[in-house]
Structure 1
């Protein structure tokens, strides 16, 4: 199971999984996870998927660059 970290709220991490958000207790999420990271559930703990997070960040940057390029023209 994979998801994207939406935000941190008090004792919970809000993770979007299959288009729906879930409130996950912080102790069930690895400490290095940040907002926007792609995470996967491994042995009951949500851990960062480094490869997918990197791909997602590159895709977002590409989209943002294209928006700025369109505005300049």
Structure 2
């Protein structure tokens, strides 16, 4: 299962999974996870998928450059 970290709220990490935001207890999320990371559920713990996160960041950067072209 994959998701994107939206934000941290108190004892929860809000992760968008399949287009819906879900509150996941922080203890179920790797401490290194940050907002914007693509995460995967592995062995009952959400961890960052480095390759998918980098790909998403690059895609967003390209889209922003297209929008702001002169």
Any unmatched runs of 5+ in structure 1?
Answer: none
- Give secondary structure in 2 for the equivalent of 1:34: coil
**Aligned-pair Cα RMSD in Å:** 0.5
Q: Equivalent residue for 1:32?
A: 32
TM-score norm. by structure 2 comes to 0.98
Match of 2:6 in 1: 6
5+ unaligned residues in a row in structure 2: which ranges? Answer: none
Aligned length: 70
Larger radius of gyration: 1
